[in-house]
Amino acid sequence: MAAFSGTVLPFPGQQPLQTAFARDELQRILDLYGRMVAAGQWRDYAMDFTREAAMFDAFRRAAERPQTRVEKRPSLRNKQGMWTLYGEHGQVLKRGHELAGILAPVERRLVKAVDA
């Protein structure tokens, strides 16, 4: 009897229908979200999964545009990095190959909010 590895494999010869966050990636993002909610910075979030990208949007208020967007776009893995952090007005704040580096500016803002 083979041990279950917990890894979802795509059907051979088929492209996946959507891009998604891995469990550890989503855990890291949601951990940051929880700390930002506790600090009073964020109140809501949304996730969107398309064939090209997986997106996590964090909102200060549900009726506004997202304050922060974290995007995973695997097609850029070998170029500028598959992770991108966007600001409230759609500006690219940071790009990279590692999720931790992309979340660092938001985590620094959290430290300032707690100290203030």
pLDDT higher than 60, residue 62: yes
Strand partners, 20: none
Averaged pLDDT, 105-114: 75
What pLDDT, on the 0 to 100 scale, is given for residue 66? 87
To which H or E segment does residue 44 belong?
Answer: strand 44-49
Averaged pLDDT, 87-114: 85
pLDDT higher than 50, residue 28: yes
Note the pTM of the prediction, 2 decimals: 0.78
Output helix, strand, coil percentages for the chain, rounded to the nearest 5: 30, 20, 45
CB 23 within 8 A of CB 32: no
Unique residue bearing structure tokens 């993002």: 29
pLDDT higher than 80, residue 53: yes
Q: Mean pLDDT score of the chain, rounded to an integer?
A: 84
